[in-house]
Amino acid sequence: MSESATLTMPDGRVVGYATHGPAGGRPVVWCHGGPGSRLEPAVAGPEAAAAGITFVGIDRPGYGLSTLWPGRSIAGWVPDGLAVADALGLDTFAVVGVSTGGAYALALAALAPERVTAVVACCALTDMTWAEGRAMMPATAVRNLWDAPDRAAALAAAAEAFGEDGSRFLANPGGDGDDDDDLPALPAADLAVLSDPAWLDRMAPCLAEMFASGVQGYCDDRIADGAGWVSFDPGAVRAPTTVLHGEADPIIPPAHARHTAAVVPGATLRLVPELGHLSIMSEIVPALG
């Protein structure tokens, strides 16, 4: 079971968060994907409970219960994460970042090294100042937003791809199918996840929260990561870091994991054969040790 709550930041914004797992368990802050929500850690719920882990999911601005924040940067989110940790009385904690959330996990570790004990960057987008990695991403879902001249144009591109309410996102995660840069088919391991009733039941509440503000949260994620990791220094990460990625991931190529592992000091790269962008999340709890 998850328990949701909110807090109010000094600028008046509301931040939504949820705890998942046993009271008093080992705390792990979960930075969700883009799109995603505070309820995303439920996908690893049974394994986490068995391992005595309590995940803390936090809605980034524009997702779930959290107030929109146009123009936010990756590092700009870090005070939100620390405020939630403070509200829960967590002096130290590990952090997981999934997909888009990988950068936010690394920023938290870089800017609060005295509090973050370990990092897992799972199926994570890397630093988009790396031109080769940027070019690997699909045009319709991602690069069209990065290349938009302003937020209004980026919102229009997102709405064209996925609908203003995001309702076409799951049916069309790579774009419209007419672009050479759209995503290839999901690997068998990901298709198996999507056909698992138990996984779908755990994920359903998260899906309902992804587009609480339409595609605006997703758009602001893309604007933030399109600038690259300019708001924080990945070289400042001191916590032991595992860069976890499925070798069959068609959404974020494994080359991104290799690049991240090269720029984070002492990072351990773990590539898992045959797993994709969804199925790799089954390896998060084992990676936490």
CATH label of the domain that carries residue 84:
3.40.50.1820
Task: Give average pLDDT by consecutive 10-residue segment, the chain, 289 residues.
Answer: 90 98 95 97 92 97 98 98 98 98 98 98 98 95 96 96 87 46 78 94 92 96 98 98 97 97 98 97 96
How high is the pLDDT of residue 165? 92
Cα(47)–Cα(210) distance, integer angstroms = 23
Domain count, the chain: 1
Report DSSP state, residue 27. Answer: E
How high is the pLDDT of residue 123? 98
**Residue 152 belongs to domain spanning:** 2-288
How high is the pLDDT of residue 11? 97
Q: What is the dihedral of CA 84, 85, 86, 91, to 10 degrees?
A: 180
Cα(170)–Cα(174) distance, integer angstroms = 9
249, 272 contact by CB (below 8 A): no
Cα(60)–Cα(38) distance, integer angstroms = 8
Q: Which residues contact 62 (CB under 8 A, 6 or more apart)?
A: 68, 69, 212, 213, 216, 217, 218, 220
246, 276 contact by CB (below 8 A): yes
Tokens, residue 26: 């080992």
